[in-house]
Amino acid sequence: MTIQAIDYSTKIPNNVNLTEDRQVLRALESWHPGYIDWWKSMGPEGFQEAMVYLRTAVSVDPKGWAKFDYVKMPDYRWGILLAPQEEGRTIPFGRHLGEPVWQEVPGEYRAMLRRLITIQGDTEPASVEQQRHLGKTAPSLYDMRNVFQVNVEEGRHLWAMIYLLQKYFGRDGREEAAELLQRRSGDPDKPRMLGAFNEQTPDWLSFHMFTFFTDRDGKMQLESLAQSGFDPLSRTCRFMLTEEAHHMFVGETGIGRTLQRTCEAMKEAGIEDVNDIERVRALGVIDLPTIKKKLNMHYSLSLDLFGSEVSTNAANAFNAGLKGRFQESKIQDDHKLDNANYPVLKLVDGKIKRIDEPALTAINMRLRDDYTADCQRGLERWNKIIERTGVAYRLELPHVAFHRQIGEFKNIQAKPDGTIVDDATWSRDKEKYLPSKDDGEFIQSLMKPVTEPGKFASWIAPPRVGIDNKPGDFEYVKIVA
């Protein structure tokens, strides 16, 4: 395994030898100004001049791939970095199992591959757009730096997909690349492609839920694409996953610190009843039932990102060797799914039932199940935090039929426990399960910026350790007024 050094001499840092790939370099360089315009108009609002203590990828070596320094965000070095090519790699699943991986796009799969890459690419700038207001209400400089770190890396993930489109898809690829800068999150005329990426991220509780739940969909999708027989896609996704871990860390610790602070404040004030919302809120912390509602919302929105439980798109992508399963190589089966079944939750005569479906068409369901298990482990860590404070409360994932807009359950209403209810009951009760306008306003009232180094807003505990082992009062962002 050789590790290609990163070339910083070109405008676009890369380890794909762009200096000798003139045509692609030119295409990328002509896309660059539009990207910078997009970043300046749609990236973090009000902080384009700030000096931010960011990590930048300087190698793809898993040990020591990043360096930390103060950077003005528009000067961030968005690079094209692929994990090293593995000698003799073969296609790990599907109809071409065992054949050498492709270094060029197989003609018959061109459209399918382009679509997968475009959808992946679309989510990256969408999340930056959704999060652009958050700097202004950051609960600390530490948190502010974290959202900006996530944002620049999502920007880099867009570059990763743009490189594939421009190198391997000719004129079609250049058109897709241009359109990726034109769609906008939440815009009714030119929305982003997937549902959850057109929702708002109105406050920091949502941001942390988003990075826990939605970036985790990112992880699962990238893991499946990292299996791809199209080797450049696999290599790109493998390196993206290195960065993704931090995004989920931001979400998990962000919620963990919020829970910690709420529970500590309740204990100090001697409040036993978690449902005594008024008294808890008066302490300047977010009550646990409201945190649960936000969890319900972001988990259900993220489940929609897995597509329909039974999907021929997914079956075709698997068969073609383009998109595999989570940890494909660790699964003990034929990797072709010729005669296999997989249990799928379906709506049968108005009841939710587990039905065996051909495993090939149930690929989305399987990935979603792996995702749910991964989320569940995170929830258990949150519950430990609550438990240690002595507050009697547990977080749970709502049933997969709850609040869905895609798949089997999109036409019914179910409570978080999975009980199906009629529309009238749902309308009457939904604010018990999802954040109400009132909840939103209360959270908004706490979103006051804290910009003094080492200080934190009332509703969130400080982190246990700093970024890059910096001390507690480190100035992660030098704000320029």
Picking from 166, 146, 170, the residue whose alpha carbon sits closest to that of residue 158 is 166
**Residue 168 CA: distances (Å) to CA of 177, 227, 254, 314:** 12, 18, 39, 22
- Enumerate the H helices of 88-140 as residue ranges: 110-130
Binding mask 394-423 for ligand BYC (x = CB under 6 A): ------------x-----------------
Cβ proximity to Fe ion: between 245 and 282 the closer is 245
Selected from 124, 176, 231, 243, the binder of ligand BYC by CB under 6 A is: 124
Binding region for ligand BYC (CB under 6 A) out of 121-129, 169-177, 199-207, 448-456: 121-129
Binding mask 217-236 for ligand BYC (x = CB under 6 A): xx--x---------------
Residues of span 420-479 touching Fe ion by CB under 5 A: none
CA-CA distance, 93 to 328, in Å (whole number)?
A: 8
**Residue 161 CA: distances (Å) to CA of 31, 55, 61:** 13, 21, 21
Residue 304 touching ligand BYC (CB under 6 A): yes
Residue 247 touching Fe ion (CB under 5 A): yes
Binding mask 305-324 for ligand BYC (x = CB under 6 A): xxxx--x-xx--------x-
Q: How far is the CB of 346 from ligand BYC (least distance, A)?
A: 14
Residue 214 touching ligand BYC (CB under 6 A): yes
Cβ proximity to ligand BYC: between 153 and 203 the closer is 153
**Residue 405 CA: distances (Å) to CA of 242, 296, 351:** 31, 14, 18
Q: Give phi and psi for 348, each to the nearest 5.
A: -125, 120
Sign, CA dihedral 382-402-212-133, equals negative
Residue 173 interacting partner from ligand BYC, Fe ion, none (CB closer than 5 to 8 Å by kind): none
Q: What angle do CA 379, 385, 391 make, to 5 degrees?
A: 110
Cβ proximity to ligand BYC: between 259 and 305 the closer is 305
Cβ proximity to ligand BYC: between 319 and 364 the closer is 364
Selected from 199, 215, 223, 252, the binder of ligand BYC by CB under 6 A is: 215
Selected from 127, 253, 262, 296, the binder of ligand BYC by CB under 6 A is: 127
Binding mask 146-165 for Fe ion (x = CB under 5 A): --------x--x--------
Residue 215 touching Fe ion (CB under 5 A): yes
Binding region for ligand BYC (CB under 6 A) out of 200-208, 215-223, 350-358, 447-455: 215-223
Residue 364 touching ligand BYC (CB under 6 A): yes
Residues that contact ligand BYC, how many (by CB under 6 A): 25
**Residue 209 CA: distances (Å) to CA of 189, 259, 274, 466:** 27, 12, 20, 21
What residues pair up with 52 in beta bridges, in sequence order? Answer: 71, 477
The three state secondary structure string of 268-328 is HHCCCCCCCHHHHHHCCCCCHHHHHHHHHHHHHHHHHHHCCCCCHHHHHHHHCCCCCCCCH
**Largest interatomic CA distance in the chain:** 68
- How do beta strands 420-421 and 413-414 pair? antiparallel
Long-range CB contacts (within 8 A, 24+) of 267-276: 267/389, 267/390, 267/391, 272/392, 274/391, 274/392, 274/393
Q: How far is the CB of 218 from ligand BYC (least distance, A)?
A: 3
Selected from 52, 73, 82, 116, the binder of ligand BYC by CB under 6 A is: 116
Which residues make up the interface to Fe ion (CB under 5 A)?
124, 154, 157, 215, 218, 247
Which residues make up the interface to ligand BYC (CB under 6 A)?
116, 119-120, 123-124, 127, 154, 194-195, 214-215, 217-218, 221, 304-308, 311, 313-314, 323, 364, 406
